[in-house]
DNA sequence: TTGATTGTTACCGG
DNA sequence: TCCGGTAACAATCA
C-alpha cells in the first residue's frame, strides 16, 4: 500500500485522533521498545507526512518516525481498542482512539534535530504545497540514469512508487529508459503536474487510481487486483493504442511501457528488453 | 511451500 | 564518481 498518497492520507486521518495527550505508546509484541515509553503522556502536536515517511511530532521536539516499507500498515479505531492483531510494532493510544502500526520497516524515536536532518535528505514531495520542483529538475537534468529510476529515487522527488511511476510515464508518453539529461523540460513539467494531480486523487480515494475519470471517483471498479484503476501496470495490452505492453526491471522493480506510445529516445538503450505481460 | 511484491539500502564491478 | 546489477531484509498473500 505505501506510496506517498497513503502516507499523506494517514497523516490527515490520524491528526484529529491523536492531537492530544497520548495516554500510552507501547509495543504489544515487544518488537519496538527503545524510547517508546519516553512518549507516554506527552502531547502529539502533529502527524506529518514527508514522502513515504510519517512523523508524529511531540511537544518538546521529539518525534516518532515510521516508514512502512513494502508491507507496513496502520489500523485505526475508536477506543476501546481490540486486541492487537498481527505484528504490531507500536500502538498509540489517545483518550479517543487507538492506532496500531503493523510491520513497519522503520519505527524509531528521533530528536527534532534528527528529524530535520532526515527530511533534508528527502526530495521535494509532490503532495506538499511547499515542494520545489526545481530541486528535482536540477538532479534529473544532470543525470544519465533512466528517468524511470530517477522519479522513484526519494532523494530526487518523493512520494512516487512503482505503480505511479509506471502509470504517469505512460500517461505522459515518456519512455522509462530516457536518460534524465535527455528529458525535455516540458516532459518533466508534465510529469510533475500529473504526479501532483494523481497523488491527490489517491489521497482522496485511498487508492492508486490513474485512469481518466479518477477525479470524479467513478473509476476503479473492475476485475483483477488492479481492476480498472490502472492503465498498463501488470497489463498486457495498451488501452490507448492496443499495442503490446513490454515489461522489464528498472531500479530493482518491474516496470511496464508501451513502445508505441512511449517512444524510446535511444533505441540502443532498449537492448535486452523482453516482451511480456499476463493480465489483460 | 514458492514466488512475487505499491520499498530501501549496501555492496561490487565497470 | 557515477551507474547498473544484485542481494538482503521484511511481512503478506496468492
For residue A223, what is the domain's CATH number? 1.10.8.50
Q: Is the pTM of this model over 0.85?
A: yes
Q: Say yes or no: A241 and A172 in one domain.
A: yes
pLDDT value at A9 more than 50:
yes
CA dist., res. A180 & res. A177, Å (int): 9
CA dist., res. A115 & res. A127, Å (int): 19
Residue finishing a domain among A89, A121, A153: A121
- What's the CA–C1' distance between A19 and C3, in Å? 44
Does the annotation mark A134 as catalytic?
A: no
Mean pLDDT of A51-63: 93
Does the annotation mark A271 as catalytic?
A: no
The length of chain A is 280
Q: Say yes or no: A108 and A159 in one domain.
A: no
- pLDDT tens digits along A144-166: 899 999 999 999 999 999 999 99
CB atoms near residue A142 (< 10 Å): 10
In strand B, the nucleotides that come within 7 Å of a protein beta carbon are 4-10
Nearest nucleotide to the CA of A68, by C1', is: B7
Residue A193 CB partners (closer than 8 Å, separation 6+): none
Nearest nucleotide to the CA of A103, by C1', is: C11
Residue A251: per-residue pLDDT:
86
Put residue A165 in one of left, alpha, beta given phi > 0 → left and psi -120 to 50 → alpha. Answer: alpha
Mean pLDDT of A33-46: 85
Of the listed ranges A4-18, A42-56, A165-179, A260-274, the least confidently predicted one is A260-274
What is the distance, to the nearest Å, from the Cα of residue A245 to the centroid of all Cα atoms in its chain?
24
Closest residue by Cα to the C1' atom of nucleotide C11? A71
Residue A149 CB partners (closer than 8 Å, separation 6+): A250, A251
Which DSSP string do the residues of A70-113 spell out, in sequence order?
Answer: TT-EEEEEESSPPPP-S-EEEEEE-SSEEEEEES-SEEEEE-HH
- pLDDT tens digits along A184-212: 999 999 999 999 999 999 999 999 999 98
Residue A227: per-residue pLDDT:
58
Mean pLDDT of A15-37: 83
Residue in this structure with the C-alpha cell 512508487, named with its chain if needed:
A161
Q: Say yes or no: A13 and A113 in one domain.
A: yes
pLDDT value at A50 more than 60:
yes
Residues engaging strand C (CB under 7 angstroms):
A 31, 69-71, 86-87, 102-103, 105, 143-146, 149, 180, 249, 252, 272
Nearest nucleotide to the CA of A70, by C1', is: B7
A202: phi then psi, degrees, rounded to nearest 5 = -60, -40
Q: Say yes or no: A139 and A243 in one domain.
A: yes
> Do the Cβ atoms of A260 and A239 come closer than 8 Å?
no
pLDDT value at A99 more than 70:
yes
Q: Say yes or no: A140 and A271 in one domain.
A: yes
pLDDT band of residue A24 (cuts 50, 70, 90) is confident
Q: Say yes or no: A116 and A137 in one domain.
A: no
Order the strands of the A253-257 sheet from edge to edge.
A253-257, A246-250, A274-275
Closest residue by Cα to the C1' atom of nucleotide B5? A70
pLDDT band of residue A226 (cuts 50, 70, 90) is low
In strand C, the nucleotides that come within 7 Å of a protein beta carbon are 2-8, 10-12
Amino acid at each position: 500500500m505505501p506510496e506517498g498518497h497513503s502516507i499523506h492520507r494517514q497523516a490527515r486521518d490520524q491528526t484529529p485522533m491523536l492531537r492530544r495527550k497520548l495516554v500510552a505508546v507501547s509495543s504489544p509484541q515487544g518488537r519496538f521498545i527503545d524510547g517508546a515509553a519516553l512518549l507516554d503522556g506527552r502531547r502529539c502536536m502533529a502527524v506529518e507526512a514527508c514522502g513515504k515517511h510519517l512523523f508524529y511530532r511531540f511537544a518538546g521536539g521529539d518525534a516518532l518516525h515510521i516508514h512502512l516499507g513494502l508491507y507496513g500498515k496502520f489500523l485505526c479505531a475508536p477506543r476501546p481498542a481490540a486486541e492487537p492483531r498481527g505484528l504490531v510494532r507500536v500502538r498509540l493510544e489517545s483518550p479517543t482512539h487507538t492506532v496500531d502500526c503493523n510491520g513497519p520497516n522503520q519505527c524509531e524515536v528521533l530528536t527534532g534535530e534528527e528529524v530535520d536532518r532526515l527530511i533534508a535528505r528527502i526530495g521535494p514531495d509532490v503532495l506538499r504545497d511547499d515542494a520545489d520542483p526545481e530541486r528535482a529538475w536540477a538532479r534529473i537534468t544532470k543525470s544519465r540514469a533512466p528517468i524511470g529510476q530517477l522519479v522513484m529515487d526519494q532523494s530526487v522527488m518523493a512520494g512516487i512508487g512503482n505503480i505511479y511511476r509506471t502509470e504517469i510515464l505512460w500517461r505522459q508518453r515518456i519512455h522509462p529508459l530516457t536518460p534524465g539529461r535527455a528529458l525535455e523540460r516540458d516532459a518533466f513539467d508534465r510529469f510533475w503536474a500529473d504526479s501532483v494531480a494523481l497523488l491527490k486523487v489517491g489521497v482522496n480515494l485511498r487508492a492508486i487510481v490513474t485512469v481518466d475519470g479518477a477525479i470524479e471517483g467513478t473509476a476503479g471498479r473492475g476485475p483483477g487486483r488492479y481492476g480498472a484503476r490502472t492503465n498498463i501496470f501488470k497489463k498486457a495490452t495498451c488501452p490507448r493504442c492496443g499495442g503490446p505492453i513490454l515489461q522489464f526491471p528498472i531500479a530493482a522493480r518491474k516496470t511496464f511501457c508501451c513502445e508505441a506510445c512511449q517512444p524510446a529516445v535511444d533505441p540502443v538503450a532498449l537492448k535486452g528488453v523482453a516482451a511480456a505481460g499476463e493480465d489483460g
